[in-house]
C-alpha cells in the first residue's frame, strides 16, 4: 500500500494550499473551459467537510445562492484550482457539519474563531 501511495504522489503533485478545515469560509478560484475559451470563476462558501488524504483528498464547499443551497466538491490536487483563500476561520466542534443543510437564516451562521495578539 505504501508503494501505491508513493507512486500516486509522484504522478499527481499536490499544491500547497493554506490550512483550512470544516467551518472555515473560503474563496476558491478555478478555471472553466467553455469550448476554446477559458475563464476563472470564484466560488465562496463554507467548508462542510474534508475527506481523504494526499492527492486524492477532497473538500466540499456550501453556499446559498438566491435562497438555494449549492454544494460543490473540489479535489485538492485538481489542475483547475487556481487559488484557495481563507476568508474566515470558523469555530465548530465537528469534522463534518452536514447539519448546516437543514438550517437557514441566522441559525446557519458559524461563529468566527477569535485570535488574540499579545499587547506590546
pLDDT in tens, 75-101: 988 889 999 999 989 898 989 999 988
| Nine-digit cell string for 117 | 495578539
pLDDT in tens, 15-61: 788 889 999 999 999 999 988 999 999 999 999 999 988 778 899 99
Can you say how many angstroms the Cα of residue 40 is from the centroid of all Cα atoms in its chain?
17
> Which has the higher per-residue pLDDT, 116 or 18?
18
| Nine-digit cell string for 63 | 453556499
Which H or E element spans position 86?
strand 81-88
Report d(CA 59, CA 52) in Å as an integer: 9
Report d(CA 24, CA 45) in Å as an integer: 8
Global confidence as pTM: 0.79
Whether domain 2-101 has CATH 3.30.565.10 = no
Query: 12: pLDDT confidence band, cut at 50, 70 and 90?
Result: low
Query: By C-alpha distance, which of 35, 22, 41, 38 is closest to 83?
Result: 41
Contact by Cβ (8 Å): 54, 14 = yes
pLDDT computed for residue 68 by the predictor: 87
Query: By C-alpha distance, which of 47, 51, 77 is closest to 62?
Result: 47
Q: Count of CB atoms within 10 A of residue 63's CB?
A: 14
pLDDT computed for residue 114 by the predictor: 79
Amino acid at each position: 500500500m505504501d508503494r501505491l501511495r508513493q507512486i500516486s504522489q509522484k504522478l499527481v503533485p499536490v499544491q500547497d494550499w493554506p490550512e483550512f478545515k470544516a467551518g472555515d469560509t473560503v474563496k476558491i478560484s478555478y478555471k472553466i473551459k467553455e469550448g476554446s475559451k477559458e475563464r476563472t470563476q470564484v466560488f465562496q462558501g463554507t467548508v462542510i467537510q474534508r475527506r481523504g488524504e494526499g492527492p486524492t483528498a477532497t473538500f466540499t464547499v456550501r453556499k446559498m445562492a438566491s435562497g438555494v443551497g449549492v454544494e460543490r466538491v473540489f479535489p485538492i490536487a485538481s489542475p483547475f484550482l487556481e487559488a484557495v483563500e481563507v476568508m474566515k476561520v470558523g469555530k465548530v466542534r465537528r469534522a463534518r457539519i452536514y447539519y448546516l443543510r437543514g438550517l437557514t437564516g441566522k441559525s446557519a451562521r458559524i461563529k468566527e474563531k477569535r485570535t488574540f495578539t499579545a499587547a506590546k
